[in-house]
Structures are given as structure tokens and as C-alpha cells.
């Protein structure tokens, strides 16, 4: 199926709108585990933010499936996880 040439003006307008949409969009909350992210070209963008936010995904034992299970329990940060462990052992 041939792609029709839309012309430079429409193309550049579409690029401007796409860039604005990406720039103004909130950062996705999705984060993979350390082993996946370490191989990703966006690591330098995502990982420092995850560390700063104390996300559970930065812990070496928290794989993607484990992270999802913890998220389902409402646990997203290292502090939240530590609180559950401290409370559970009492
Ligand atoms: S570094 Fe960011 S974009 Fe890459 S896999 Fe991890 S969360 Fe996804």
C-alpha cells in the first residue's frame, strides 16, 4: 500500500504536535527491574529517577514479576516495603 506524501507543512506540523505531546506528558510509572533496565538505552534517564524516588525496583532481589506483586499490595517504595517487614515480624 503506497504512502501518500502529505507535504512538508503537514509533516512538520505533525512532528511539532507529537513533540509537544511527548514533552507535556507525565512520566510513566512503569519501571522494569534492574537487570532489564541495565541493558536498555534509556537507563540513564529512568534509573536515576527510580533511585531518587526510592522505587522498590532498584533492589537487587525485586524482579519485574515481584515488583508487580508488591505494587498490587500498594508497595512502591523501599520505605513502604521496610515498613511491612518491620510490622510483620512484631
Ligand atoms: S530503563 Fe526505562 S525504558 Fe528502559 S526498560 Fe527500564 S523502565 Fe523501561
Residues 6+ apart with CB under 8 A from 62: 33, 34, 56, 70
Residue 35 phi/psi, 5-degree rounding, is -70, -35
Mean pLDDT calculated for residue range 13-20 = 93
Computed over every residue of the chain, the mean pLDDT equals 88
Cβ count within 10 A of residue 82: 13
Residue with cell 533511585: 51
- Protein residue closest via CA to atom 3 of ligand 1: 42
Record the pTM.
0.68
Give the mean model confidence (pLDDT) for residues 31-42.
89
- Long-range contacts at 69-74 (CB < 8 A, ≥ 24 apart): none
The answer, yes or no, to whether residue 34 has pLDDT greater than 90, is: no
Which protein residue has the closest C-alpha to ligand 1 atom 5?
37
Residue 36: is its pLDDT beyond 60?
yes
Confidence grade of residue 90 (pLDDT, cut at 50, 70, 90): very low
26, 54 Cβ separation under 8 angstroms? no
- Average pLDDT in the 7-31 region? 88
Amino acid at each position: 500500500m503506497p504512502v501518500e506524501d502529505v507535504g512538508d507543512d503537514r509533516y512538520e506540523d505533525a512532528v511539532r504536535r507529537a513533540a509537544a505531546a511527548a514533552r507535556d506528558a507525565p512520566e510513566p510509572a512503569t519501571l522494569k527491574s534492574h537487570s532489564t533496565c541495565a541493558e536498555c538505552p534509556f537507563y540513564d534517564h529512568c534509573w536515576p529517577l527510580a533511585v531518587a524516588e526510592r522505587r522498590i525496583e532498584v533492589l537487587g532481589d525485586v524482579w519485574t514479576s515481584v515488583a508487580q506483586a508488591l505494587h498490587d499490595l500498594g508497595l512502591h517504595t523501599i520505605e513502604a516495603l521496610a515498613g511491612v517487614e518491620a510490622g510483620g515480624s512484631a
